[in-house]
Chains A and B, each alone.
Chain A
Amino acid sequence: GNSVTQMEGPVTLSEEAFLTINCTYTATGYPSLFWYVQYPGEGLQLLLKATKADDKGSNKGFEATYRKETTSFHLEKGSVQVSDSAVYFCALSAGAGGTSYGKLTFGQGTILTVHP
């Protein structure tokens, strides 16, 4: 079956540090890949996505590149802020040609804490 594995956390950084959160996946077909963020007490917000190999998703300074050869979708940000403190989830939606009806498979989440 489909699965997503994220690097174990939590991750603690100082403001302006470089962030990498690793994500690898197992899936049949050609999945779409996502990063969601969950702030304390809130639901999930889509951070970025990529729908085919070599696509780069980006938003709010975060980036992730869909690497089919390594089945990875690592999240990066060059300079984190205190306001980036949240839980980050890598997810996939599997379906040939992107025609999935929308089941998302999530990783276990990575807690990010950024200190001033």
Chain B
Amino acid sequence: DAGVTQSPTHLIKTRGQHVTLRCSPISGHKSVSWYQQVLGQGPQFIFQYYEKEERGRGNFPDRFSARQFPNYSSELNVNALLLGDSALYLCASSVGGHRNEQFFGPGTRLTVL
């Protein structure tokens, strides 16, 4: 069975640009969460979507936004990129509801120059 997939694998942008990261959850999973992992630190929660509705938001500025599509895939958008946005962006999917186990994708490595 296919796991969580993310695209692109790597991305290089310059300050001020915009970026869109994509995630496809495991088949049958209705919840998608996004995390930012800065080098040498643990992942930080950004967003969680369940059944196309935002169910949680971490302590990130409004430059970060996301959405979930009818097929449960998701996009994370970051506007006006800063150097500090350079990180590994992880997507995780779960069945949702009362299930807490999340399955992570390989991540998108974003470098902002």
Could you tell me the distance in whole angstroms from the C-beta of A23 to the nearest C-beta in chain B?
11
Interface segment, one of A11-19, A58-66, A69-77, A103-111: A103-111
Residue of A nearest to B88 (CB): A43
B107 at the interface (CB under 8 A from A): yes
**Bound complex: CA A45 to CA B41 (Å):** 16
How many interface residues does chain B have, given as a range?
20 to 34
Give the size of the chain A interface in residues (CB under 8 angstroms). Answer: 27
A-contact bits for B91-107, CB 8 A (1 contact / 0 none): 01010111111111111
CB within 8 Å of B: which of A1-53?
Answer: 4, 32, 36, 42-46, 49, 51
Which residues from chain B sit less than 8 Å from chain A, CB to CB?
A: 4, 31, 33, 35, 40-45, 48, 50, 55-56, 58, 90, 92, 94, 96-107
